[in-house]
Amino acid sequence: MKHIIASLALGAALLLGANKAVDEAKTLMKDKKFEEAVAVLDPAIKAAPKDVAVKTAMVDALLGNGDAYMYNEKLPPFKKYPAALKSYRRVLEFDKSNQRAKDNVVMIEGIYKSMGRPVPQ
């Protein structure tokens, strides 16, 4: 019985930590601090890999991060495309059916291929 209670307490603590991370990440995303949001969510996703709220927040943070790089006109292509591609690919680790991430991966890979350059891994 003690083991069950201890397990439940640990599970509750992990969920509370995950929810706190999601709340913090959402605040960071409102301020367009997507990399920081991803950093906050990384430990939460490891602690609660099946938590839907954490996964959803991670996908949102990674999409925001990818877009922030992809559409940053101040960054040269050799900086923005690899960073954006990395974020979009990571989205697909959490949500294989995310069409926006799929489309952006195809577009960026197409840009590299059209230039005859190797696609970053």
Residue 121 domain-assigned (yes or no) = no
pTM attached to this predicted model? 0.83
**How many alpha carbons fall within 13 Å on the CB side of residue 28?**
22
State the CATH number of the domain containing residue 10.
1.25.40.10
Domain assignment present for residue 119? The answer is: no
Residue 52 resides in a domain? yes
Residue range(s) defining the domain that contains residue 49 = 2-114
pLDDT given for residue 59 in this prediction: 98
Q: Give 59-89 pLDDT, tens digit per residue.
A: 999 999 999 999 999 999 999 999 999 999 9
Q: What mean pLDDT comes out for the span 93-114? A: 96
Residue that the structure tokens 């350059």 belong to = 117
**SS3 of 97, please?**
coil
Work out the pLDDT band at 6, boundaries 50, 70, 90: very low
Looking at per-residue pLDDT, the higher value among 111 and 6 belongs to 111
